[in-house]
Amino acid sequence: MSTNQLDKKSEAWSALFSEPMSELVKRYTASVFFDKRLWLADITGSLAHAEMLAAQGIIGADDRASIERGMAQIRSEIEAGSFEWKLDLEDVHLNIEARLTQLVGDAGKRLHTGRSRNDQVATDVRLWLRSEIDLISDLLVELQTALVDVAEQNVEVILPGFTHLQVAQPVSFAHHLLAYVEMFARDAERMNDVRRRTNRLPLGSAALAGTTYPLDRERVAVTLGMVDEQGHPQVCQNSLDGVSDRDFAIEFTAAASLCMVHISRFSEELILWMSQNFGFVKIADRFTTGSSIMPQKKNPDVPELARGKTGRVVGHLMGLITLMKGQPLAYNKDNQEDKEPLFDTVDTLKDTLRIFAEMVGGQPNPATGQKEGGITVNAIAMEEAAKKGYATATDLADYLVKKGLPFRDAHETVAHAVKAATSHACDLSELPLTVLQGFNASIEKDVYECLSLRGSLNARNTLGGTAPAQVLSQIARHRVRLA
């Protein structure tokens, strides 16, 4: 085969075919216009493979040097935007290999020794996803830090905690935000876990059964950083599984879906909190848009879109998992369909995390280095809202229990008190002492302490509770963890 014969992929596999592929089939089967973003992983994997082939004496040192030279040139062409991606060459792998052969001749044709596109693509996707997971982990730290920063400013700010979206008990706004920090911390743990299973080497599985060349797969794994914490090479141990497994991608998309679900819940709260009926927070204008007809509107587009994009990521999870379900071993072309959902999941999650970190925590002012433009908290509106809906009713019940009443009786007694307060259109704390004593004679003046929002908050001083002392110690724990 002459060096320019690889211009057409049908010629990449020979004389066997008696007619050319139709344009429609070419377009239908090609992946280059989306998988070209794997180019760096493809080159990195190829260089590691070539290094090992030379070390094992399977190709010459001169071939390896030529391959490295050619790949360096290809890399600079791609970076400069001058590389010519050809639909005829189907995918990123054939495009790069064809150009390599054009540049360095026979050495380029030797690169594919002991390798198949099946183990090549599985390796590329893993390498690419590994570096994306690392970026996502950094963004998760940024978002958690932004939330902890806002929490720290709002430890003593009280808002109504809801169950069933009905006022339940007063909570610290910081405590509320730290609930999301817990969620994102678990998302980060999950990402880390997925990374471990992603960081394993399929290369050397060849098409499906392994290869006849004396490959050193562990050497390639070490070169590519596919090692565990102790530095031991991580190699897919079954060639059939190596080329066909995409559970790492499914698992990643599941972890990404959960993270988006957390973002979506937070978005829903921001949207509620921003509505005039709550008025708890404002987000900076740059995250909102106006209405073309109603001049007074500032719509929370960013949280709404994040809530909407969650559906799209969950959809990708469904797509990927369904893609796998009927596939016999080993590689099937179906797997080419793993890329677009995976890429879009990564793009959507990264953009969303980045925008939320900035929307919550603000951006550093270049002059002062201080972050500005994060969410603005309306502490008064939150506290006013907490005063509605008898948020301290449980506290009154707990007060009666401490006076010796069984909890169920205390619960019933307080229900009567709430009914009375409702008919007087006042809060429990506004009922005169004599009225309260009418419900239970053991009630004394100190009851007003426990009926106050702040008293209620301070009383929940157990691990994980909303008392400011607990919240402060959680903030300190997160600071150490996120440093």
Question: Annotated catalytic sites, by residue?
Answer: 164, 291
Subset of 436-475 contacting ligand ARG (CB under 6 A)? none
Stretch that binds ligand ARG, among 114-122, 131-139, 259-267, 272-280 (CB under 6 A): 114-122
Q: What is the Cα–Cα distance from 233 to 204, expressed in whole angstroms? A: 14
Does residue 42 belong to the site contacting ligand ARG (CB under 6 A)?
no
Give the other-Cβ count within 10 Å of 102's Cβ: 15
Does residue 336 belong to the site contacting ligand ARG (CB under 6 A)?
yes
Q: Which is nearer to ligand ARG, 34 or 278 (CB)?
A: 34
Phi, psi dihedral angles at 289 (to 5 degrees): -135, 160
3-state secondary structure of 126: helix
DSSP 280-323: -EE--GGG-B--SS-TT--B-HHHHHHHHHHHHHHHHHHHHHHH
Strand 158-163 and strand 281-282: the pairing is unpaired
CB of 121 to ligand ARG, least distance (A): 4
Q: What is the Cα–Cα distance from 9 to 27, expressed in whole angstroms? A: 13
Which of 6, 12, 31, 273 is the binder for ligand ARG (CB under 6 A)? 31
Size of the site for ligand ARG (CB under 6 A): 10
Does residue 325 belong to the site contacting ligand ARG (CB under 6 A)?
no
Does residue 413 belong to the site contacting ligand ARG (CB under 6 A)?
no
Does residue 333 belong to the site contacting ligand ARG (CB under 6 A)?
yes
360 within 8 A of 374, measured Cβ to Cβ: yes
Closest CA to 341 of 32, 29, 35: 35
Q: Which is nearer to ligand ARG, 128 or 273 (CB)?
A: 128
Closest CA to 126 of 257, 220, 56: 220
Which of 335, 413, 429, 440 is the binder for ligand ARG (CB under 6 A)? 335
Which of 117, 176, 217, 387 is the binder for ligand ARG (CB under 6 A)? 117
CB of 92 to ligand ARG, least distance (A): 7
DSSP state, residue 8: S
Q: Which is nearer to ligand ARG, 117 or 130 (CB)?
A: 117
Residue 215 parent element (H or E): none
Contacts of 368 (CB under 8 A, 6+ apart): none
CB of 252 to ligand ARG, least distance (A): 17
Count H helices and E strands in the chain, helices first. Answer: 20, 6
CB of 17 to ligand ARG, least distance (A): 14
Stretch that binds ligand ARG, among 116-124, 152-160, 282-290, 458-466 (CB under 6 A): 116-124
Q: Which is nearer to ligand ARG, 310 or 336 (CB)?
A: 336
Q: Which is nearer to ligand ARG, 30 or 302 (CB)?
A: 30
Q: Which is nearer to ligand ARG, 336 or 429 (CB)?
A: 336
Q: Which is nearer to ligand ARG, 337 or 383 (CB)?
A: 337
Tokens of 249: 């991608």
Give the other-Cβ count within 10 Å of 101's Cβ: 24
Q: What is the Cα–Cα distance from 425 to 418, expressed in whole angstroms? A: 10
CB of 74 to ligand ARG, least distance (A): 18
Chain centroid, CA 320 distance in Å: 17
Does residue 121 belong to the site contacting ligand ARG (CB under 6 A)?
yes
Give the other-Cβ count within 10 Å of 238's Cβ: 13
Q: What is the Cα–Cα distance from 262 to 399, expressed in whole angstroms? A: 36
Does residue 246 belong to the site contacting ligand ARG (CB under 6 A)?
no
87-96 in b/e form (b: 16+ CB < 10 A) is ebbbbbbbbb
CB of 249 to ligand ARG, least distance (A): 12
Q: Which is nearer to ligand ARG, 89 or 256 (CB)?
A: 89
Q: What is the Cα–Cα distance from 320 to 117, expressed in whole angstroms? A: 20
Q: Which is nearer to ligand ARG, 74 or 155 (CB)?
A: 74
> How open is the CA angle 52-58-60, to the nearest 5 degrees?
90
Closest CA to 94 of 38, 24, 144, 48: 38
Does residue 118 belong to the site contacting ligand ARG (CB under 6 A)?
yes
Stretch that binds ligand ARG, among 333-341, 388-396, 406-414, 440-448 (CB under 6 A): 333-341
CB of 333 to ligand ARG, least distance (A): 6
CB of 327 to ligand ARG, least distance (A): 12
Does residue 360 belong to the site contacting ligand ARG (CB under 6 A)?
no
Which of 63, 91, 119, 149 is the binder for ligand ARG (CB under 6 A)? 91
CB of 205 to ligand ARG, least distance (A): 12
Largest CA distance in the chain: 103
Stretch that binds ligand ARG, among 113-121, 133-141, 319-327, 462-470 (CB under 6 A): 113-121
Residues of this chain that bind ligand ARG (CB under 6 A) = 31, 35, 91, 117-118, 121, 331, 333, 335-336
